[in-house]
């Protein structure tokens, strides 16, 4: 069996505001479409509106492929990853930093609990 989904025609749930204690700037909100999940992995699509907020990857690693939008990921050590369609990256367990979203961003993702 195969699942084919176009991000622009996905049935996105209502966006949920990013937790206020994580927000640095703006009023970002996110939606997630989970395509598969089991006790160790999750695959899906994630969409977030413009703004800036912190993130901590604790207990999992994440593979990301940016489909739409633009922004940056800044690691706590100051290193910067430019996000645009075609960007592919892995955030390791323990990664800490911030998302800075310039235009609504859509990513496909796969997380693996460690």
The residues spanned by each domain of the chain are 14-113
State the fold for domain 14-113.
Answer: Jelly Rolls (2.60.120)
What are the angstrom distances between the C-alpha of 87 and each of 39, 59, 69?
27, 23, 11
Whole-number pLDDT of residue 100: 98
Whole-number pLDDT of residue 45: 97
Whole-number pLDDT of residue 1: 67
Transcribe the chain into DSSP letters: ------GGGS-PPPPEEPPGGGEEES--EEEEEEEEE-SSEEEEEEEE-SEEEEEE--SEEEEEEEEEEEEEEEETTS-EEEE-TT-EEEEPTT-EEEEEEEEEEEEEEEEEE-
Task: Report the C-alpha gap between 73 and 109 in whole angstroms.
Answer: 15
Whole-number pLDDT of residue 6: 74
Q: How many CB atoms lie within 10 A of CB 74?
A: 16
Q: What b/e string do you get for 2-21 counting C-beta neighbours within 10 Å, with b at 16 or more?
A: eeeeeeeeeebeeeeebeee
In this prediction, the residues of the chain whose per-residue pLDDT falls under 50 are none
């Amino acid at each position: 069996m195969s699942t084919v989904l176009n991000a622009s025609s996905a049935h996105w749930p209502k966006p949920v505001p990013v937790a206020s204690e994580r927000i640095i700037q703006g009023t970002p909100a996110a939606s997630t479409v989970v395509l598969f999940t089991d006790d160790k992995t999750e695959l899906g699509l994630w969409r977030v509106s413009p703004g800036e907020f912190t993130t901590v990857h604790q207990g999992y690693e994440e593979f990301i492929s940016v489909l739409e939008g633009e922004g940056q990921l800044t690691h706590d050590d100051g290193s910067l990853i430019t996000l645009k369609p075609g960007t592919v990256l892995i955030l390791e367990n323990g990664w800490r930093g911030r998302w800075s979203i310039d235009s609504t961003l859509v990513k496909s993702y796969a997380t693996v609990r460690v």
